[in-house]
């Protein structure tokens, strides 16, 4: 089970988890990215995500294939949302299942790190003061954060 999708609807984390879970796996790992209320000290009101959808889905699928190869996971799903997201909404869900915890956890971290580095998705942050900015991780320390 391997699935990578850009979606324009709300992400349902329970459904994403359910799509990887099976009796053969003793470990299911999930990462959720959510819209937070502050970035670089500026109060955020919402984020508009956009993507080069066909390439983003192909690149995410490639990352999942690499995680299968690297960590031996056989059930891995990612959904990334596009459109206008309010504070607290889920922008990305990654679920990974394996017989054991460590490969599941390692694969999940690998997938989110690679998505941040190489999948063509962008965010326009809208601030409480009415201004907005394209987020560019190459300009800040964000990319270096653990």
Partner 1 sequence: MSAVTVQLFASCAEFFGSPTLQISVSAGSTVGDLIAALRARPGAEFLPPSLRIAVNRKFAAPDQLVGPDDEVALIPPVAGG
Q: Which residues of this chain interact with partner 1, rule CB under 8 A?
A: 33, 49-52, 54-56, 58-59, 80, 91-92, 112, 115-124, 134-139
Nearer to partner 1, 61 or 68 (CB): 61
In the complex, least distance from residue 56 CB atom to partner 1, rounded to whole angstroms: 8
In the complex, least distance from residue 127 CB atom to partner 1, rounded to whole angstroms: 15
β partners of residue 93: 32, 79
Please, what is the end-to-end C-alpha distance for the chain in angstroms? 28
The DSSP code for 99 is S
Give me the residue label for tokens 């089970």. Answer: 1
In the complex, least distance from residue 23 CB atom to partner 1, rounded to whole angstroms: 31
Structure token pair of residue 94:
């990654």
In the complex, least distance from residue 17 CB atom to partner 1, rounded to whole angstroms: 19
Nearer to partner 1, 9 or 23 (CB): 9
Structure token pair of residue 136:
């560019």
Nearer to partner 1, 24 or 140 (CB): 140
Integer Cα distance of 34 and 97 in angstroms: 21
Nearer to partner 1, 23 or 131 (CB): 131
Nearer to partner 1, 80 or 98 (CB): 80
Integer Cα distance of 73 and 107 in angstroms: 7
In the complex, least distance from residue 62 CB atom to partner 1, rounded to whole angstroms: 9
Query: Which residue in 41, 26, 1, 31 sits closest to 95, CA to CA?
Result: 31
């Amino acid at each position: 089970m391997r699935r990578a999708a850009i979606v324009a609807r709300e992400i349902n984390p329970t459904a994403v988890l359910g799509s990887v879970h099976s009796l053969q796996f003793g470990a299911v790992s999930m990462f959720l990215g959510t819209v937070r209320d502050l970035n670089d000290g500026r109060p955020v009101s919402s984020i508009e995500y956009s993507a080069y959808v066909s390439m983003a889905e192909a690149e995410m699928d490639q990352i999942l294939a690499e995680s299968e190869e690297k960590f031996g996971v056989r059930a891995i799903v990612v959904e990334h949302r596009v459109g206008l997201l309010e504070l607290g909404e889920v922008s990305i869900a990654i679920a990974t299942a394996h017989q054991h915890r460590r490969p599941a956890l390692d694969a999940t971290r690998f997938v989110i790190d690679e998505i941040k580095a190489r999948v063509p998705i962008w965010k326009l942050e809208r601030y409480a003061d009415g201004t907005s900015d394209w987020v560019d991780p190459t300009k800040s320390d964000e990319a270096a954060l653990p």
